[in-house]
Chains A and B, each alone.
Chain A
């Protein structure tokens, strides 16, 4: 069974500071890993994904994530936070091959303080 954990319900960061939203995963094989963002009263929007290759994945709006196989982590990062980054962030994992569902984490609310 696959699972994903987001240990922080909320992350507060000052505008202009670097931000990190944590994610760890568990799958039986090699994972596909995703980050999505949800703004209030909106659907989820895709940010970035890890498929294979370079462990550092760059995505939309200046976000990036680092795949760490030994630590089974896929933390989301941004060098300088904007107030407009305030939203709910979901990490997701899917095992490769076949008709596997995507399992989402419980979400982390990011609050960027002006």
Chain B
């Protein structure tokens, strides 16, 4: 069983479109994250949810809107896609943020290409 799964794996779209990426974890974790990894492999946190509550919101354009329908799911919706949004987006989860158990488990990534 895949612990953290993301769909789709690849996403190619035109500028200006709206798209969503879905993430699910079956680890029973309380906390989920979205990260963006750019072409230079820099990894930057975007959002974090704990038990469906937004707890970390980095400086991300408000075109990006995370949604957590339950603690096993964290989706990322992106409006009006721009060329600079092209990157690999990783979802991750951890048992409980702020604790010694805060090891993060990453999904396989979604490679977004904006044309």
Tell me, in angstroms, the Cα distance from A97 to B98 when the chains sit together: 5
- Interface contact B103-A88, CB-CB below 8 Å: no
Chain A residues lying within 8 Å of B44, measured Cβ to Cβ, are: 104
Which stretch in A40-48, A65-73, A74-82 binds the other chain?
A40-48
Point out the residue from A38, A46, A88, A97 that lies within 8 Å of B105, measured CB to CB.
A46
Chain A residues lying within 8 Å of B98, measured Cβ to Cβ, are: 96-100
**Once A and B bind, how many residue pairs between them come within 8 Å at the CB atom?**
57
Tell me, in angstroms, the Cα distance from A52 to B100 when the chains sit together: 9
From known contacts A32-B100, A51-B100, A107-B43, infer whether A99 and B56 are also in contact, taking CB-CB under 8 Å.
yes
Chain B residues lying within 8 Å of A32, measured Cβ to Cβ, are: 100, 102
**B interface size (C-beta, 8 A):** 25
From known contacts A34-B103, A43-B4, A101-B56, infer whether A107 and B41 are also in contact, taking CB-CB under 8 Å.
yes
- Interface contact B43-A99, CB-CB below 8 Å: no
Chain B residues lying within 8 Å of A45, measured Cβ to Cβ, are: 106
Within 8 A of A (CB), among B78-95: 90, 92
- Tell yes or no: B55 within 8 A of A by CB: yes
- Tell yes or no: A49 within 8 A of B by CB: yes
Chain B residues lying within 8 Å of A42, measured Cβ to Cβ, are: 108-109
